[in-house]
Amino acid sequence: MKFSLRKNIISIICYLYVFMLVYAATSKLLDFENFKIQLGQSPLLSSFADWITILVPVTEYIIASLLLIPKFRFIGLFTSYLLMVLFTAYIYIILNYSAFVPCSCGGILEKMTWNQHLVFNIIFIFLAAFAILLTTEHPLLFKRKTVKL
Amino acid sequence: MSYKVKLFLLLTSALIGVGIVFYLFHLSEEITHYQNKFIRRYPQHVAQEIYQADLVYNSFYFAGVANGKIYLGNYTAPLQILALDSTLQKRTTHKITLTEKDLPFASPQIRVQGKHFFVFEGIAPYVFKGNIRDWKASLKINSGYYFSQLKPMDSVTMAVRYLTPKSGESLLGTLNLSDISKVAYGDHLLQKQFDGIFDTDGSLHFNKELNRIVYVYRYRNEYIVSDPFLQLAYRGNTIDTVSTAQVNLVQKKNSTLKTFAEPPLVVNKTSATAGNLLYINSALPGLYEDENIWKIASIIDVYDLTDASYRSSFPVYDINNKKMKSMLVSGHFLYALIGNNIVCYELIEHLSQNKAASSYTKTN
């Protein structure tokens, strides 16, 4: 694959993620009280709702900014991937193991059923994994190696 | 980094992540059911209203449920009993006749248990017993301690909340209608916090299926489960955090009467029990709850008496801005008196929250 094409694909995936993360975090903060109630009603998180309500949007913003800074893009992609994996595992548990299926998420995702959400998440996981595998630029973590090479 | 390293990183981190989420899920379930820190769980559609009827008057109370009928007593017509079929449509009124009529009657109450019914008044005290075939009752008990609540356990033994003579403190006990000498008191069951009257106030129940006496404190987060011989099985806690009754009393001048110095903090308003479950109408909103629901409904918390765990909560909606006064649960049906109305809610097994929701949708 051509380098520029690769770069473009990775950029598109990153911007998709940035858009989604910023949207998700902002919609949570705009309706913070409601978000807290929804998390309190979540079968998996209710007991930890206090700190998770802050942790989730903050993490989303941090990851979004990592993706926007070229230096940290690889770490950004990797953490986005992890976040989506965790979220997908959460949905999977709700659908299959939980005695209690709560209402829904906020924003546009509100219109989705849990199963559609699962598919949506898996697509995003694959996108992030794809971008990570495409990355040839050497990530910050391995900068010293780069110099040696 | 090579593809291999990247793939390895992606896969292992995904596995660890999934493992963490699974672990959190188990931890959260454990906390919710056994160490709940006052976070309610509201599963959807576990309790749905299926019947409603207008009783015209608001003076009814639950006398019992038996033979597929719901029996209602009436405070303003104490010797009348209204029988409703389970759909609340068919009504029959019965008139009770008592064999002895020269007792100090003030406000007799009725309980129905199987084929029998009981007419009693704790501050006389007296207990009549009769058969629902003819609604005629004869005097069985006319002496002993005063009592304030009575729940029949079978046709001759009653769970009773007595008043200790002089001090007036509450005391759980039992009463045998065929043998007065078989009175028993469970002195250790109610635990006094400051006066033994208000702090131990609550409601007395008998759970037929489990053969247990259940007492739910009104002003603290505790319920007591004991066997019919008044041996303590365990003390359970409701999910709120009020472990000490918050009741302030003042002595009235020139009187021995005490009154509230400020409105007391009610924790558990009314309760009912059936099957393995205990249903408590709580007065306290928990964490992360929509306050609006409390304005239009009474919230019922469900506990499993077999392992003292919290299961879930559901609302019983107000009618004409009137809150639920009392409730009765029989099998899968919850009956509630609200203003002049009686409603029937169907309870879905799912409210005990002990199976994955997906197992229900799969069988449907």
Closest Cα of chain A to B353: distance in Å?
Answer: 5
- Please state at what angle helix A32-40 crosses helix A3-30, rounded to 10 degrees: 90
Model pTM?
0.87
More confident residue, A51 or B333: B333
**In this structure, are residues B279 and B321 in contact, taking their beta carbons and an 8 Å threshold?**
no
Structure tokens at B178: 């065929």
User: What are chain B's domains?
Assistant: 40-351 (2.120.10.30)
**Looking up tokens 């809150």, which residue turns up?**
B323
Phi and psi at A61, nearest 5°, equal -65, -45
pLDDT tens per residue, range B211-241:
999 999 999 999 999 999 999 999 999 999 9
B39 near A CB under 8 A: yes
In eight-state DSSP terms, residue A2 is -
Question: Which residues sit opposite B260 in a β-bridge?
Answer: B249
The arithmetic mean of pLDDT across residues B79-92, rounded, is: 95
Name the A residues in 57-96 with CB < 8 Å from any B CB: 78, 81-82, 85-86, 89-90, 93, 95-96
Q: State the Cα–Cα distance between residues B153 and B255, nearest whole angstrom.
A: 39
Report in angstroms the alpha-carbon separations of B183 from A68, B80, B123, B205.
79, 29, 17, 18
Q: Which residues of B touch A129 (CB under 8 A)?
A: 10
Closest Cα of chain A to B199: distance in Å?
Answer: 30
**In this structure, are residues A90 and A102 in contact, taking their beta carbons and an 8 Å threshold?**
no
More confident residue, A97 or B296: B296
Q: What is the dihedral of CA B284, A41, B280, B80, to 10 degrees?
A: 100
Q: State the Cα–Cα distance between residues B289 and B108, nearest whole angstrom.
A: 41
Structure tokens at A115: 């199963």
Q: State the Cα–Cα distance between residues B133 and B131, nearest whole angstrom.
A: 5
Give the per-residue pLDDT at A145. Answer: 47
Count CA atoms closer than 13 A to A83's CA, side-chain side.
23
Residue B196 pLDDT level (bands cut at 50, 70, 90) = confident
pLDDT tens per residue, range A98-142:
877 765 555 555 667 788 888 999 999 999 999 999 887 555 444
Give the chain B residue whose CA is nearest to the CA of A53: B288
Give the chain A residue whose CA is nearest to the CA of B12: A82
Q: Exposure string (b/e) for A97-118, b if CB count within 10 Å is 16 or more? A: bbbbbbeebeeeeeeeeeeebb
Nearest to B198 by CA among B250, B150, B155, B153: B250
The arithmetic mean of pLDDT across residues B13-22, rounded, is: 93
Give the chain A residue whose CA is nearest to the CA of B33: A47
**In this structure, are residues B243 and B189 in contact, taking their beta carbons and an 8 Å threshold?**
no
B106 near A CB under 8 A: no
The arithmetic mean of pLDDT across residues B279-303, rounded, is: 93
**Looking up tokens 């009765």, which residue turns up?**
B328
